[in-house]
Structure 1
Amino acid sequence: MVKRATKKKHSLLVVDDEPMVRRFIRFVVDKQLPELQVVGEAANGCEAVQKALELNPDIFLTDIRMPKMDGLAAAKEVRKSLSQTQVVFVSAYEEFDYAKEAITLKAEEYLIKPIRPQNLIEVLRRCVLKAQQQTMHTAMLTTMNARLKKSEGYLKAHLAEKLLQGNFDSEHHCMQLAALAGYEYLPDLVAIVEKDCLESDDVGYYKTREISIILEKLCCPGNIKPLVYQQKPGTFVCFLKTNADSGKSAVDRATKWASMVQAKVATAMAHQSITIGIGDWASDYTLLPTSYQSALTAKSFRFIWGPGRIFSLQDLNYEAKPNMLQLLPMQTTLVESVQLGNLKLAKEAVTNVLAELRKLAKKCPPKAKEMIADTAQLTVAAAREGALKKEQIANCLGPYKTRLRTAFCFDQMAEALIYLVTCLTRLVNKTQTNLSTDTIAKAINFIQNHYQSDLTLAEVAATVYLSPYYFSRLFKRTTGINFSQYLTKIRIDAAKDLLRKSNSSIKEIAQTVGYADPGYFGLVFKKVVGVPPGQYR
């Protein structure tokens, strides 16, 4: 019987002087990351270096402040011998010097304690993905050496990936691989070309292929052909040689090339547009990853300004960290209106939120996208607080997600969000209307039977299976007074009855109706009745 080949697990070495932290990380990995295995642990930097050299882990996750040798020093030692090992730092300190040192060491991530399980999982998954890519690249290089120049297409793709990752030991190494791929130069700018309408049929495939041919044939200034890498269907990363001596000159030349590309595509394919993002000038080949990121950011402005355009950051009002303080109160108003099931207020609130998000999209489209998704999550949470059940929320989320999948611009995402808010708010309103009378009647009955104890809003809300926030609002809307006022009324009414009909002391009566402190009982009684308990008797 032939045994099936088991999938290789990637290895993780955990370094922290706190055993509890090491156990926590091992637990998360064992439960959530089957593709990753903790192969060792260390309690200090010296032990970590020794174990790393023995185990050669794919990922080296280390605390910074530790005895004997700190995490930064340990990572430096590991990097000297294990250049492919990925480093993830963990620290309870958000100090600039630490972050700066981590960048110098090319750390994958910098996690702040206490570590959230989801953050840890996301970071380690990215590391595993990179480790898989490194493994794949190593295997591909072996194949390349065997097949030599027969694999020119692969060599181009491999060169492009390494340029994007900045993963070259030296310029000489980079030039060698470029020569094998058929290029005698190193690019100085990255542009991203993307087909605006992504078809899934054969027509889409042939249009993509035609765009690829145009890109490969159309030379940059100086008659130099670009290195064209199809990153995914319809998206091309183009490495250009502009031969410029300044950032503005490089972007201007790349923009001229992009205009020619658009003209060629328009001539060859009717009704087909492309969007092009122009990256910043890379005065050195090691800056190409930065040029790529700026090209991605520039292309993202299609989200607000529409398709068929050429974007560069030097022509845009881009802000990497825009001010979003004005958005927070608007989101709060939206959440409250959804919780109350007030459709009119909810529509006004989502309109205000989207107006602010539109301004944000003109400064930072990726952040605007993120905040639209964040607003949707807040809306769903508000509906849950408003007493909606999972299946009711799912009835709104399904159509919303369908709309979201085909939304490529701000207006389409805005329409999807408006739909979600409207759908959830209507359901909340309907549900609350049906719940009000019976639910509050049950809550009042519970209060009347338990007012003598130290009763809390959360305790009463739990008896009718509602969140404290929603129960508080529903109670006031139904009875006209809030929970605290109602509980006080019940207790004082009971105290008045006892003062009239019994010979118990005021202290005994106070404790009987739920007040542990007779002095406080006296203050509350006088405030409600107008006279002290003794005078009332």
Structure 2
Amino acid sequence: MYTLLIADDEALEREGLELMIRHMLPDTFKFLHAENGRRAIQLAEEARPDFIFMDIKMPGIQGLEAVREILAKYPATRIVMITAHDYFTYAKESLALGVRDYLLKPAKREEVLEVLKTLIAETEEARRERDERLEMQEKLSQLLPLAENELSLMLMLECVQEIEVEQLAHLLNLQWPKGYAMVLSFARHAAKDWEGFQLVKKEVYEAIKQFAKPNLSCLVSPVVGHQMALFIPLPPGQPGYSQRVKSLEWGERVKNLIEERFHLTVSVGIGSIREGWDGMSRSYREAVRVCADDQDLFSVRHYDDIAQSSGQRVITLDEEKKLLDALLRQDKLEAANRFALFWERLMESEPAHLPRLRGEVIGLLLYLSRSTQAGDGAELISTLSAIEDRETLRQGAQLWLDTFIDGLKEEKERGRSHVLQRALLYIGQKYKEDISMEQSAEYVNLSPYYFSKLFKQHTGENFIDYVTRLRMEEAKRLIGEQRLSLKEICFEVGYNDPNYFSRVFKKTTGMTPTEYRQQLEKPSPC
């Protein structure tokens, strides 16, 4: 039921309009009456009517003044002005204020009915849109935490796909030109510590999220293995060194929160400030590499501090790219040799510190996993994080490198197989026409040279022999049916010259088409 306020200084007008509407639309409205503009404003505030029929000319506060005040407070109210012909110019002014319609006195039944039906339809549509919007907001509120988890995992697991990341960032309303990563690593050396962490893992996650998000406006990742990450935007106007100091202070605060509330040992690694989402992912790798443990002198470490104190990175960007290039070329020997050099340098820089050694290896392999789109980042972190001796770590890393190359080979073979299947399907549809290898190569978007090599490798035949075999098999089938003449069969299987067709047929089968037909027509000896 809707509430309809009728504002008119003449009681008979109000009562007559109500009676008319009750008769046309029974059980549809609750009616309110106002004898002047002041009372109309009061009732609008008290009862919040859905619709108002407002007379323009009333004593005291005029209709238009009342409309201005009501719509200023309740802009969604649907108001219809009622006017005599003498005040038609005022009716036009009311429309400019946001009034939905106007009626001329004396209002006709049909006009009143049409206006009310329009108002009801608009109200129902507005309610439907509001309900849909509320439902969408509810769904979005449930989706946002999932989107945050997905985005943070993409950054952690080196799965940065620009379009997907931008879509998730847009959904989360994130515009971060620069930022950095902070990694929290929970102790696993003592069984008691690890078991304790497993029991309160969800509570730890919620506590960090409630503490960090309001203070740092950051993304908080789910727990992966024994680690979780915060991705933190760079506040505007903060110079790099000042922000490094502040990030270390925040690292200490998070560490103290976890240790005091949950009595867990946690260490913190912080990456350098970088641009874009790809830079965030790289900052995460840096944070993983320098993440300390409970046996270290510093339990909160910043990548820039470690890089400055050691003088240089263990492996340069150029060396990373060369190792990646060896993987992409699927050269296991070169990849193994380059990793061996990297390992030797690691052993020189971190001979007695397994956690940092492990962090360097995991960081490098995450980068390679993402760049080759091979391997499972979550499984990589899980398996290598559980390793507790250097030789097993080296062997495990080498196995992952081999896995990346095997994955690339399999993907390449699948791609080739898919291309060949499309080509063979195309040839199967077109071999009765004047088809060429160049046309087929163009169809699958390969150069004729590469297509020719690929075709021979997978079918064991060159293109001409393959098409000829298809044509001859079809010719033999048609000859056996005895429906068409040999000349018609020649054209049917893609040849324009019967003599050439006959020569090809004899070369393939050892007999001419005529001889083949005669052989088929010979009566069986039985």
TM-score (norm 1): 0.31
Structure with max Cα Rg: 2
TM-score by length of 2: 0.32
